[in-house]
Structure 1
Amino acid sequence: MFRRREPVPFAFLAEANRFRSNVAPPPRRRSSAGRIAGQWLLGLTIVAGLVGAVIIGTPALSTPSSTPAQQSQASQGH
């Protein structure tokens, strides 16, 4: 970064990029056991729902291979 040769009227604005605060944020509160268990249960429910949807939806997405053979046998019988 380049430095200006002329003096800056507001020096604190020129140094604002390098400013570091000495105020620390407050410490995070620890989650209770019930909240942690609730988060795990929610995550497990979502994952189980997605897995169940894939398992139930897989047969609907697959193409049946035995159906054309049965139709051709029925057409030969007539």
Structure 2
Amino acid sequence: MFRRREAVPFAFVAEADSFRSNVTPPPRQRISRSELMSRTLIGLVVAAGFAGSLLFGLPALESGQPSGQAQRSEASQGR
């Protein structure tokens, strides 16, 4: 291990980098079938909401003119 260059007032602060706990965390609980189904349903509802907002929002973003024609001002048409 490398030593710190600055002075450390307490020894336990200097040794904190190499400390490892011997306590293991408890095992994760398996989720139940109903909880898995509810999480799946929530995910599908959120995805459907995004898709619906995109579906209904795209027509509102269109300018109303075909994209192939360029907009011309009245001054350029009068010539």
TM-score bin (small chain): 0.5 to 0.7
1:16 to partner: Cα distance:
2.1
1:17 to partner: Cα distance:
1.6
Q: Which residue of 1 aligns with 2:29?
A: 29
Seq. identity, %: 48
Structure 1 consecutive aligned stretches of length 4 or more whose deviation exceeds 6 Å: none
Instruction: Please give the per-residue CA displacement for 1:34-74, whole angstroms capped at 9, x wherever unaligned.
Output: 001100100100010110011011111101126xxxxxxxx
- Larger relative contact order, structure 1 or 2 (CA cutoff 8 Å, min sep 6): 2
CA distance in 1 between counterparts of 2:54 and 2:28 reads 38
Q: Which residue of 1 aligns with 2:15?
A: 15
The one-letter code sitting in structure 2 at the alignment partner of 1:30 is R
Matched length: 62
Q: Does 1:60 align with 2:60?
A: yes
More helix by share: 1
1:10 to partner: Cα distance:
6.0
**TM-score under structure 1 normalisation?**
0.67
Query: Structure 1: 5+ residue runs without aligned partners?
Result: 67-78
**TM-score under structure 2 normalisation?**
0.67
SS in 1 for 2:50: helix
The one-letter code sitting in structure 1 at the alignment partner of 2:46 is I
CA distance in 1 between counterparts of 2:51 and 2:58 reads 11
1:2 to partner: Cα distance:
2.4
